[in-house]
Amino acid sequence: MASQYPRPGGRESDLDLFARVTSGILTEVRRVIVGQEDVLSGALVGLLSGGHVLLEGVPGLGKTRLVRALASALDLAYSRIQFTPDLMPADITGTTIIADDPGGGRAFRFEPGPVFANLLLADEVNRATPKTQSALLEAMGEGQVTVANNVRALPAPFMVLATQNPLEMEGTYPLPEAQLDRFAFKILVGYPSLQDLTAILDLTTGDAPPRISPVAGPEEILRLQALVRQVPIAQHVRDYVARLVIASHPDQRDAPRHVRQYVRFGASPRAGQALVLAGKVRALLDGRYNVAFEDVRWAAHLALRHRLLLNFEAEADGVTADAIIDQLLMGVRVDDMVERVRVS
């Protein structure tokens, strides 16, 4: 099917499409989102890498507004689930009902749930029980759901953008580790600066809210996700990713002291996949067709912070996952990788 967003002069190259779509998304979203550039960059990298993104922050910081703005900038099927303690798995995946058929009889019919969308907003995902949260595991991991022993594919592209409040807030449940691992990135949403807050007040209390126009549809996003996977990554950069992931495990000989002291379980191979894909997206955003060390280091906190399970000693000492990742980045040195390449 022909694109609804053709470039004048015919079909544009994938690289030109990447530049046009990413620039257009940022321009449109910034019409309604002030500041939060790191959050917006992380969400965009998640989309282009084909990963799911978890946004964490206290209520009122614009997490939901950001996701809705991103959905408005893309001509994709969008749905929203407000997670609550009484939400059931069938409310997410859908269910089989008995319905009248055209011949006057009755037959079983599948009624799809809101998960059947290109872009799914799982709002306040940690307010639902673990049983309900687990309904997203198959969808996020395999792009499909199984209902009544029938496997049903989800539309492509498929992305979950979830928001959650900090766990210490009332009425929240910790996400299962298996579900956390299916999020490519976890982005922390902080308070706006004084200047940004003033701009937010001007933007949200006027009588003419800005309108967002879509800049790309499913075909374009799938093309860009395919382009990202074609970006080459050198062996020594890929080795650096692997060493970062391995060094996050406390039982490894090369693990930094803070990892051995404070980490119960380190990052999974999915963390390495997220780092590589994020590095490829960052390279393209910077106009390069190769992944650099700095691309990987930029994504380290996003890809690792929710995958490091800390022990009770870390909680007692006030040590955070981000502090552990800082130690990882200092312990696994880029200079050492460059020296390995020079010697070999």
Among 191, 207, 223, the domain boundary falls at 207
Same domain assignment for residues 280 and 133: no
Give the 3-state secondary structure of 61-107: CCHHHHHHHHHHCECCCEEEEECCCCCCCHHHHEEEEEEECCCCCEE
Same domain, residue pair 182 and 252: no
Do 241 and 202 lie in one domain? The reply is no
Tokens of 121: 């907003």
Q: Are residues 172 and 310 in the same domain?
A: no
Which residue type does 296 have? V
174 with 30, same domain? Answer: yes
Nearest residue to 331 via CA among 251, 243, 205: 243
Residue 243 shares a structural domain with residue 175: no
Cis ω for the linkage preceding 157 (within 30 of 0): yes
To the nearest 10 degrees (0 to 180), the angle between helices 37-49 and 269-285 is 110
Same domain, 332 and 273: yes
Q: Judge whether 218 lies within some domain.
A: no
Residue in the structure block whose two tokens are 């990892």: 259
For the stretch 298-325, pLDDT in tens is 999 999 999 999 999 998 999 999 999 9
195 & 271 share domain: no
Same domain, 176 and 279: no
Q: Are residues 196 and 265 located together in one domain of the fold?
A: no
Tokens of 277: 């894909």
**Cβ(91)–Cβ(113) under 8 Å?**
yes
326 assigned to some structural domain: yes
What pLDDT sits at residue 132?
84
Q: Is residue 28 part of a domain?
A: yes
> In this predicted structure, what is the pLDDT of residue 8?
44
Domain-terminating residue out of 207, 241, 267: 207
- Which CATH number covers residue 250? 1.10.8.80
CATH code of the domain containing 138: 3.40.50.300
Last residue of one domain, picked from the residues 174, 207, 240: 207
Range(s) of the domain holding residue 281: 231-343
Domain count of the chain?
Answer: 2
Own/partner long-range contacts of 253-261 (Cβ < 8 Å, ≥24 apart)? 254/331, 254/332, 255/331, 256/327, 256/328, 256/330, 256/331, 257/327, 258/319, 258/323, 258/324, 258/327, 259/324, 259/327, 259/328, 259/331, 261/313, 261/314
The answer to whether residue 246 sits within a structural domain is yes
Residues 200 and 240 in one domain: no
d(CA 175, CA 309): 12
Q: Is residue 255 part of a domain?
A: yes
Residue 212 belongs to some domain of the structure: no
Same domain assignment for residues 101 and 52:
yes
Residue 2 domain-assigned (yes or no): no
In a domain, 4, yes or no: no
Nearest to 217 by CA among 152, 157, 283: 157
pLDDT tens series, the chain, 344 aa: 345 554 444 466 888 889 999 999 999 998 888 888 888 899 999 999 999 999 998 877 788 888 888 888 998 889 999 998 888 888 898 887 777 677 667 777 778 889 999 999 999 888 888 888 888 888 898 989 888 788 889 999 999 999 888 876 667 778 888 888 999 999 998 888 888 888 888 887 877 778 888 998 999 999 999 999 999 999 999 999 999 999 999 998 888 889 999 999 999 999 999 999 999 999 999 999 999 999 999 999 999 999 999 999 998 999 999 999 999 999 887 766 555 555 45
